[in-house]
Chains A and B, each alone.
Chain A
Amino acid sequence: MEYVIEMLNITKEFPGIKANDNVTLQVNKGEIHALLGENGAGKSTLMSILFGLYQPDKGVIKVNGNEVQIKNPNDANDLGIGMVHQHFKLVHNFTVAENIILGREETEKGLLKLNEAVEKIKNLSEKYQLRIDPNAYISDISVGMQQRVEILKMLFRDSDILIFDEPTAVLTPQEIEELMKIMKELVNEGKSIILITHKLNEIKKVADRCSVLRKGKYIGTVDVKDVSMEQMAEMMVGRKINFTVDKEKANPGKVIFSVKNLNLLSPDLNRFLLKDISFDVKKGEILCVAGIEGNGQSELVKAITGLIPHKSGKFYLNDQDITDKNIRNKTLAGIGHIPEDRHKYGLVLDYNLAENLIIQTYFSDELQSKGFLKFRSIYKHAKDLINRFDIRSGKGPYTKARSMSGGNQQKAIIAREIDREPDLLIAVQPTRGLDVGAIEYIHKELIKHRDSGKAVLLVSLELDEVMNLSDRIIVMYEGEIVADLDPDKTNENELGLYMAGSKRTTVRVKRGEIDE
């Protein structure tokens, strides 16, 4: 059997790291081939090589059996290779059709010929049941639809080999289901798909074969139906992984933190980003804020921590009004924050690990005297945390944060926040982009924090995480809380409906209520 894509013995090096080390990928015609690996395993590099963004140092690429040179994305397009990027590349104030023809505009006497394109898009949309209106504006359609526009873009260019880069990251469970149907449809029509992901259940559901990369090296290719998720995880990480989160039943105590009537307007003042948000978090409880990205979760956390100012609403920590405190005083009052974007907020990448571990405490008496830093204490503190939280890096406390792996950067932030023993730990997507090993570790730490009698407010987009970790779930949709659920009495499906806004309960969390 002939392969549509063969990447043989690909090696690609960047300064200081071998991103791909003798990697081989062979994709059959008409299959969905998953490319599985942890972050930094080299998946993106390999696909960037196939898409012409990088040139390999060594190795051969064959398309339909012919050896080819792919120097840029245009070459890739000409060979019938198309890519749906994780972050869509669409012009928001253009229509679907305008976006699709972008770069391939047909003109007549200098004027744009749109009608034929619209017709072709309509046909394609029907053929693959994408249900896309070519004349709709991108800004008016949902994220799931936008992704379909990206898919249509490839079909419009007659691509036969479609690369999907983490396509489900931004979708609701229902949208994921539909995407999978579409992918299967595409394969039935003779297309071949490469699916980049680290989500094992999706591979299990949709892929035919799966190639695994680990630390830039090719581990192997398996038939998905022959292996279990645990086996694939082991191939990906190199050790056994426990999928279920072990935790005791929560034993919530008194209310530690409450938000009352929080409202937040968008910067242009014409809509509410947060609308009348009120909830309590209790001691010894993990409260999870579920929702699809962009429904106000980020703003909620930023308002609580003080990163963005808000006009109306109150925050109480241990019955003390902390609404008007500045960020530092909120931190000192007992709020820990594992931020959503660890590079933007969580770390000073050009500081070393030790310096990053003291970023909220450098002014304390243990770490300075009379304005001079006590370096001995700083490095002792760092070594202590490195040991306790198993943070791995090249030069220990002296490692620049920039040169650490994503998982260890996140471990460093978690170590720093948990070490301060905050009464309320706010963790925003703490496992985003991390591999299963690191996820397992972070989940354990969050549960440990809960079990030590503190509260955790977890914001997560991952349904598995929400279901596994939380003791209570609130769902946010368009800046409002639309549900307050018990994870034992709900399921992913119901959660998905709330998240998509197609179902809501009029929950009003009673305020100031103390369970005892």
Chain B
Amino acid sequence: MNKPKLILFGELTDKKVNVMSSFFAIFAGLLFGLIIMIITNANESFQAFFTILFGPIGGLKSIGKVLFYSTPIILTGLSVGFAFKTGLFNIGASGQLIVGAFVAVYIGVRWTFLGPSQWIVATLCAGLAGAFWASIPGILKAYRNVNEVVATIMMNYIGIYLVTYLVKLTIYQSGRNESQRVNIDAVIPSFGLENIFGPRSVNGGFFLAIIAVIIIYIILEKTTFGYELKAVGFNRDASKYAGINEKRSIILSMIISGFLAGLAGAVIYLVGTGKAIEVKDILPAEGFDGIPVALIGLSNPIGVFFAGIFMGYIREGGFLMQRFGFKTEIIDIIIASIIYFSALVIIFKEFILKAYKNKLDKKISRGDNNG
């Protein structure tokens, strides 16, 4: 090889730059979080920082919590990332998620006749509901060129109010102002994870997320369908020129994206911890969290998986920080800043390329470009 190399990085491939920029972004985010900690609570800031960094791997219980938090965020991250690969910015994961959640909970409460398969039906129908919800902006985009950002945001609000209304109408538990609890058969089984991480922790939903990651990866990287979707995402005109049905691609992409968000809804609410849909008119944060997860993971399914774990990790780390007297709001701000910074991956990408180029130049000017 005659290509110049750097000892530290080896040959610079696109993949390496991507992974490195994600890590740098996270690192910068953490540093910024530390600054806020120092400002708000100087005395214990370093202990708190240590906790957020290493607390979650302190025990199986914490690890289980990390995975538990990560599961829906991986799915929504996958949802946003998948749509993004097709050139669509799906901000509607929250709405698709809550619609899916309602269907899951409704089936989980009412359709007890299904017996042990109740959770499967509830989960799948949640996905389908999310898919339906996302298909509307997809159709509008494909046939009327309605901006999907606007359409999905509007669908978020329609979704949350509709669900509030439907919960009150059908499966309302008035004393607690929330939906009824799902039947025990509708709870996603833990597939033995309970024995490792303890109860009320990560469950079979995590496996569902892993399967989704693998399937999405295969669709995008190995199939003609994924080839079409990405082509449309990269260049809609060229896809049309090549005879790809770009309208169909856009709609299908939104449907799959919505399906994943709907699954996230099932994963959040089909648990044994007594979680129920609260009648609050607030969009679920997991849906929006999908956006930074997709950004940090650079829309790559595997990247999204790790980015989702990272989000779960700092969330658990933040939870553990409470013992140092940090207010939960401050913790949320810290977490938000970490995420905010981490989402600036692109800037770090440019930074890395520049730094690499400078080093390369020095090497070339020294004349030893055969390394």
Which of A16, A331, A348, A351 touches B243 (beta carbons < 8 Å)?
Answer: A331
Q: Which of B211-241 contact A (CB under 8 A)?
A: 222-225, 227-228, 230-231, 234-235, 237-241
In the assembled complex, B354 has its CB within 8 A of some CB on chain A: yes
Interface readout for A407-423 with B: 1 if CB under 8 Å, 0 if not? 00000000000000000
Q: Is A349 an interface residue (CB 8 A)?
A: yes
A82 to chain B, nearest CB (A): 34
Q: Which of A327, A329, A349 contacts B240 (CB 8 A)?
A: A327
Kindly list chain A residues whose C-beta atoms are within 8 Å of the C-beta of B235.
344, 347-350
Are B225 and A348 in contact (CB-based, < 8 A)? no
Mark interface residues in A180-220 (1 if CB within 8 Å of B CB, else 0): 00000000000000000000000000000000000000000
Residues of B near A339 (CB, < 8 A) are 241
Find A348's partner among B223, B234, B245, B353 (CB 8 Å cutoff).
B234
Distance A345 CA – B230 CA, assembled complex (angstroms): 15
Given A363-B224, A371-B224, A371-B225, are A345 and B237 neighbors across the interface (CB < 8 Å)?
Answer: yes
Instruction: From the candidates A15, A329, A362, A363, name the one contacting B357 in the complex (CB within 8 A).
Output: A15
A12 part of interface (Cβ distance < 8 Å): no
* A331→B230 CA distance, assembly (Å): 21
Which residue of chain B has the shortest Cβ distance to A328 in the bound complex?
B243
CA distance A307 to B240 in the complex (A): 7
For chain A, residues 366 to 418, give those with C-beta under 8 angstroms from any C-beta of chain B.
368, 371-373
- In the assembled complex, A360 has its CB within 8 A of some CB on chain B: yes
A182 to B355, CA, bound (A): 49
Contacts of A307 in B (CB 8 A): 240-241
Q: Which of A326, A345, A359 has the most CB of B within 10 A?
A: A359
Within 8 A of A (CB), among B179-237: 222-225, 227-228, 230-231, 234-235, 237
Pair B223/A359 contact, Cβ less than 8 Å: no
The reply on B242 being an interface residue by CB < 8 A is yes
Cβ–Cβ < 8 Å partners of A346 in chain B: 238, 241
Q: Which residues of A contact B234 (CB under 8 A)?
A: 348-351
Task: Give min CB distance, A57 to chain B, whole Å.
Answer: 11
* A310 within 8 Å of B (CB atoms): no
- How far apart sit A331 and B240, CA to CA, in the bound complex (Å)? 12
Picked from B222, B240, B244, B354, the residue with its CB within 8 Å of the CB of A372 is: B222
- Assuming the contacts A307-B241, A344-B238, asked whether A373 and B222 have C-beta atoms less than 8 A apart, the reply is yes
The 0/1 profile, CB within 8 Å of A marked 1, for residues 243-259 of chain B is: 11100000000000000
Taking A16-B357, A348-B231 as contacts, is the C-beta distance between A359 and B238 under 8 angstroms? yes
Chain A neighbourhood of B240, CB < 8 A: 307, 327, 345
CB of B264 to closest CB in A, whole Å: 26
Q: Given the complex of chains A and B, what is the CA–CA distance between A102 and B243 in angstroms? A: 45
Chain B residues 45 to 94 lying within 8 A of chain A, measured CB to CB, are none
CA gap between A328 and B242 in the complex, in Å: 7
Q: Please classify how large the interface on chain B is, using the bins under 10, 10 to 19, 20 to 34, 35 or more.
A: 20 to 34
State whether A345 and B238 are in contact (beta carbons under 8 Å apart), knowing that A372-B223, A373-B227 are contacts in the complex: yes
Q: Which residues of A contact B243 (CB under 8 A)?
A: 326-331, 360
Closest to B232 in A: A348
Instruction: Check if A355 sits within 8 Å of B241, measured CB to CB.
Output: no
Q: Are B354 and A15 in contact (CB under 8 A)?
A: yes
Across the interface, A359 reaches (CB within 8 A) one of B222, B225, B237, B242, namely B242
List CB contacts (< 8 Å) of B156-199 with chain A. Answer: none
Provide the B80-112 mask, 1 if CB < 8 A to any CB of A, else 0.
000000000000000000000000000000000
Counting CB contacts under 8 A, is A148 at the interface?
no
Selected contact of B241 from candidates A345, A351, A372, A373, CB within 8 Å:
A345
Residues of chain B within 8 A (CB-CB) of A331 are: 242-243
Which residues 6-53 of A have a CB within 8 angstroms of B? 15-16
Asked whether, in the complex, the Cβ of A348 is within 8 Å of the Cβ of B357, the reply is no
Contact B238 A355 (CB under 8 A): no
Assess whether A337 is interfacial by the CB under 8 Å rule.
yes
Q: How far is the CB of A217 from chain B (nearest CB, A)?
A: 17
Name the contact of A347 in the complex, choosing from B225, B230, B238 (C-beta under 8 A). Answer: B238
B242-A373 in contact (CB<8A): no
Closest residue of B by beta carbon distance from A355: B227
Closest-CB distance, A333 to chain B (whole angstroms): 11
Q: How far is the CB of A262 from chain B (nearest CB, A)?
A: 20
In the bound complex, CA of A327 to CA of B243 (Å):
5
Give the distance to chain B from A427, nearest Cβ to Cβ, in Å: 14
Alpha-carbon distance between A302 and B244 when the two chains are bound, in angstroms: 16
Q: Report how far A371 CA is from B224 CA in the complex, Å.
A: 5
CB distance from A476 to the nearest CB of B (A): 22
CB closest chain-B residue, reference A368:
B224
Q: Distance in Å from the Cβ of B215 to the closest Cβ of chain A?
A: 13
User: What is the CA–CA distance of A346 and B242 in the complex, to the nearest angstrom?
Assistant: 8
Return chain A residues, CB-CB under 8 Å to B225.
371
Closest A residue to B221 by beta carbon equals A373
Task: Give the complex CA separation of A345 and B238 in angstroms.
Answer: 4
A286 CA to B369 CA in the complex, in Å? 50
CB nearest neighbor in B for A344: B237
Which chain B residues lie closer than 8 Å to A305 at the CB level?
241
Instruction: Tell me the smallest distance from the CB of A336 to a CB of chain B, in Å.
Output: 12
Chain B positions within 8 Å of A, measured between CB atoms, are 222-225, 227-228, 230-231, 234-235, 237-245, 353-354, 357
Rank and list the top 6 A-B pairs by shortest CB-CB distance, nearest first.
Answer: A328-B243, A345-B241, A359-B242, A327-B243, A350-B234, A348-B235
17 other contacts beyond A15-B354, A327-B242, A328-B243, with CB at 8 A cut-off?
A: A15-B353, A327-B241, A328-B245, A329-B243, A339-B241, A344-B237, A345-B237, A348-B234, A349-B234, A359-B231, A359-B238, A360-B243, A362-B227, A368-B224, A372-B222, A372-B223, A373-B224
A: residues with CB less than 8 A from B are 15-16, 305, 307, 326-331, 337, 339, 344-351, 355, 359-360, 362-363, 368, 371-373
12 cross-chain CB contacts under 8 A: A305-B241, A328-B244, A328-B245, A337-B241, A345-B238, A351-B234, A355-B227, A359-B242, A360-B243, A362-B224, A363-B224, A373-B222
